[in-house]
């Protein structure tokens, strides 16, 4: 008797017992359930929630691998810079440096482990208490969370935030498919407002920047957005920004890999191309407006908002977390708009507000996550007005026909 048959047999022993949801979660994760439907009409398809979540995780794996490498690379580059050594970024020269991967793995993998252990633990507890099956929704959330936080965030802070995000952001609404806010962004928002010193500044984005032995004050991990918000120049060129040789949250730095992940998700029809396209347009429009303000001379050079307003509109799309947010967060099918027309407005406003918040809030120059949470709240309203507009159009056509 193989493992599959043994698990099917054990499942029968768990039926009706309190811990049945916990065992069933493990069982269905490893194998297809040995249950079939018996009556009514059904749709036979190869995709289900678990496979959908696994597809998103597949799109996130390259970003995670790059985040591990870049965490190590940024650490050693900062240490070298503190000692007067300038490290030239080179994709082929630095990618296969195992020291970078080793250091990155030591710092990033614990974030992934804590995210999954705590989040799935909460899911199992709620499933056992409420007597329903463990839902697969946290499979993606558990991977997203470590990719949108600074590399040196204390693990206990992450654990507290995960508990808050899963309970308040999802379970109180009824679980997977019922939440109005993106759970991963709820976790990030909690971290930002509860522990702001660990979520902003120039010492949190590079491992060891706060406590490297020797010359800690000389080590800076300032992001590009942080530098622009202070009207400072940066040493990174286009290739650094596009491929990801820059400080930032673990998964947000490589726009190149994020684009590949977005194309994969659109090809598999997991992500809505309408939301992605309109969000890019919205961000570009807001960026062009700010560029126009600078071009017309309506804001003085060196003034408070000049640095980010003067940033070319296209550069806004490859720095910070806007690309990651648009591809992996805004396209959440649960908390986003549901109607096709609504998706255009939803995505456009996310991109538009992302750049607006980025420019007008120098203390928190990354606005995409707040913009997505804001539009999560208004997504049902957008869909409501889209539906009402369609109803009115049909009523007008009906009146014309009957006139």
pLDDT of residue 218 exceeding 50, the answer is no
Confirm whether 370 is domain-assigned. yes
Nearest CA among 279, 284, 386, 283 for reference residue 331 = 279
pLDDT surpasses 80 at 135? no
- Whole-number pLDDT of residue 111: 96
Continuous H helices in 195-272? 224-229, 238-243, 255-267
Question: Does residue 69 form part of some domain?
Answer: yes
Task: Note whether 211 and 167 are within 8 A (CB).
Answer: no
User: Would 245 be classed as within a structural domain?
Assistant: yes
The reply to whether 59 falls in a domain is: yes
Query: Residue 327 class from Cβ within 10 Å (0-12 exposed, 13-18 middle, 19+ buried)?
Result: buried
pTM for this one?
0.86
Residue 315 lies in a domain: yes
Question: Residues 87-108: what's their mean pLDDT?
Answer: 73
H/E element holding 94? helix 91-94
Domain annotation covers residue 401 = no
Beta strands in 56-160 (DSSP E): none
Q: How many C-beta atoms lie closer than 10 Å to residue 303's C-beta?
A: 10
d(CA 268, CA 191): 32
State the pLDDT at residue 233: 81
Comparing 56-70, 90-104, 130-144, 383-397, which segment has the lowest mean pLDDT? 90-104
Name the phi and psi angles at 148, rounded to 5. -115, 15
Give the residue numbers spanning the domain of 156.
49-391
Residue 347: inside a domain: yes
The 10 Å CB-count burial string (b at 16+, else e) for 53-92 is bebbeebbebbbebbbbbbbbbbbbbbebbeeeebebeee
Pick the more confident residue, 137 or 118.
118
- Sequence-distant (6+) residues with CB within 8 A of 103 are 71, 72, 75, 76, 207
Look at the chain and report how many structural domains it folds into: 1
128/114 Cα distance (integer angstroms):
21
Q: Which two tokens stand for residue 49?
A: 């929630």
Nearest to 351 by CA among 329, 372, 334: 372
Q: How far apart are CA 4 and CA 369, in angstroms?
A: 42
% residues pLDDT > 90 (the chain): 46
pLDDT surpassing 70 at residue 59: yes
The answer as to whether 27 is a domain residue is no
Mean per-residue pLDDT for 381-403? 88
Task: In whole angstroms, give the CA distance from residue 309 to residue 229.
Answer: 9
pLDDT over threshold 80, residue 214: no
Q: 15-24, 226-235, 278-287 — which is least confidently predicted?
A: 15-24
């Amino acid at each position: 008797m193989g493992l599959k048959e043994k698990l099917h047999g054990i499942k029968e022993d768990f039926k009706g017992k309190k811990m049945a949801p916990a065992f069933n979660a493990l069982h269905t994760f490893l194998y297809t359930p040995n249950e079939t439907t018996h009556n009514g009409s059904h749709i036979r398809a190869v995709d289900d929630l678990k496979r959908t979540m696994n597809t998103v995780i597949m799109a996130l794996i390259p970003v995670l691998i790059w985040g591990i490498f870049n965490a190590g690379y940024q650490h050693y580059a900062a240490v070298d810079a503190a000692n007067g050594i300038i490290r030239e970024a080179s994709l082929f020269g630095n990618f296969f440096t195992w020291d970078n991967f080793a250091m990155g793995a030591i710092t990033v993998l614990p974030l992934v482990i804590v995210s999954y252990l705590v989040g799935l633990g909460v899911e199992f507890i709620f499933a056992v208490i409420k007597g329903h099956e463990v839902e697969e929704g946290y499979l993606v959330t558990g991977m997203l969370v470590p990719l949108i936080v600074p590399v040196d965030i204390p693990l206990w802070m992450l654990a507290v935030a995960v508990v808050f995000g899963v309970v308040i952001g999802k379970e109180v609404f009824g679980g997977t498919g019922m939440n109005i806010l993106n759970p991963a962004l709820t976790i990030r928002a909690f971290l930002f407002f509860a522990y702001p010193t660990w979520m902003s500044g120039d010492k949190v984005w590079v491992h060891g920047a706060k406590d490297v032995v020797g010359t800690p004050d000389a080590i800076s991990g300032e992001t590009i957005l942080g530098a622009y918000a202070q009207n400072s120049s940066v040493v990174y060129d286009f290739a650094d920004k596009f491929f990801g040789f820059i400080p930032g949250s673990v998964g947000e730095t490589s726009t190149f890999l994020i684009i590949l992940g977005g194309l994969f998700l659109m090809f598999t029809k997991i992500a809505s191309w309408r939301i992605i396209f309109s969000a890019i347009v919205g961000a570009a429009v807001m960026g062009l407006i700010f560029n126009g303000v600078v071009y017309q001379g309506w804001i003085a050079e060196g003034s408070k908002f000049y640095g980010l307003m003067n940033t070319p509109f296209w550069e806004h799309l490859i720095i910070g977390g806007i690309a990651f947010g648009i591809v992996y967060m805004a396209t959440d099918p649960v908390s986003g708009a549901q109607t096709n027309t609504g998706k255009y407005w939803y995505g456009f406003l996310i991109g538009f507000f992302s750049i607006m918040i980025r420019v007008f809030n120098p203390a928190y120059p990354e606005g995409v996550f707040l913009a997505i949470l804001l539009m999560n709240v208004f997504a049902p309203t957008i869909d409501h007005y889209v539906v009402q507009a369609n109803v009115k159009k049909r009523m007008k056509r009906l009146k014309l026909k009957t006139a």
